[in-house]
């Protein structure tokens, strides 16, 4: 074989292995969905870093897990890199089939304000970190935990009880679904 054919084959092999790597999380998730509920929630409690209630929607939990570790990218809107509002927007479209605005401050306009004590899976949590307007958004999971894209560590799970998030918490909102 000449060197150009070898190079083409090498590039094709790399492309195939890269594609397989990016879909490996999805294939594992499909396998876990078929496990018993108690086993599913036990496995995902370990993956997400806290004990799930056991009533969270499986697709929701799997989607959270798939996004964990995706790096932060300002203006990014994919699993290659995402900012907080695009993460929420894409997540909502994938899990609920609902389109949300691209900016966190606009998202809050499509929510009904609720008390922290009323938070349910899928509700949005808004923060005023840098300004007088909403500058950060996340999605409530359960037991005081939410998933969001941070500038320092990308998509991750935190607790609303952490001092930083207590300090900057603005409001909780439930997405208005128009019938």
Closest CA to 170 of 114, 120, 122: 114
- From 86, 136, 145, 170, active-site residue: 136
Catalytic site residue 148? yes
Residue 77 designated active-site: no
* 136 among known catalytic residues: yes
Contacts of 89 (CB under 8 A, 6+ apart): 77, 99, 100, 101, 102, 107
Q: Identify the DSSP state of 72.
A: B
Q: Do residues 120 and 164 make contact, with C-beta atoms less than 8 angstroms apart?
A: no
Marked catalytic residue, from 84, 86, 145, 170: 84
Catalytic residues: 84, 136, 148
């Amino acid at each position: 074989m000449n060197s150009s054919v070898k190079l083409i084959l090498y590039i094709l092999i790399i492309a195939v292995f890269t594609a397989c790597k990016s879909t490996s999380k999805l294939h594992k998730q499909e396998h876990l969905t078929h496990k018993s509920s108690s086993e599913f929630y036990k496995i995902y409690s370990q993956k997400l870093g806290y004990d799930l209630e056991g009533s969270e929607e499986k697709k929701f939990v799997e989607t959270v897990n798939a996004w964990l570790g995706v790096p932060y990218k300002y203006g990014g809107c994919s699993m290659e890199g995402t900012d907080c509002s695009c993460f929420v927007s894409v997540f909502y479209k994938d899990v609920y089939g609902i389109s949300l605005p691209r900016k966190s401050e606009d998202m809050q306009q499509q929510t009904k304000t609720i008390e922290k004590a009323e938070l349910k899976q899928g509700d949005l949590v808004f923060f005023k970190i840098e300004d007088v307007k909403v500058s950060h958004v996340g999605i409530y999971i359960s037991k005081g935990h939410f998933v969001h894209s941070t500038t320092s560590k990308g998509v991750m799970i935190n607790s609303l009880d952490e001092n930083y998030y207590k300090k900057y918490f603005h409001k909780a909102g439930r997405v208005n679904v128009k019938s």
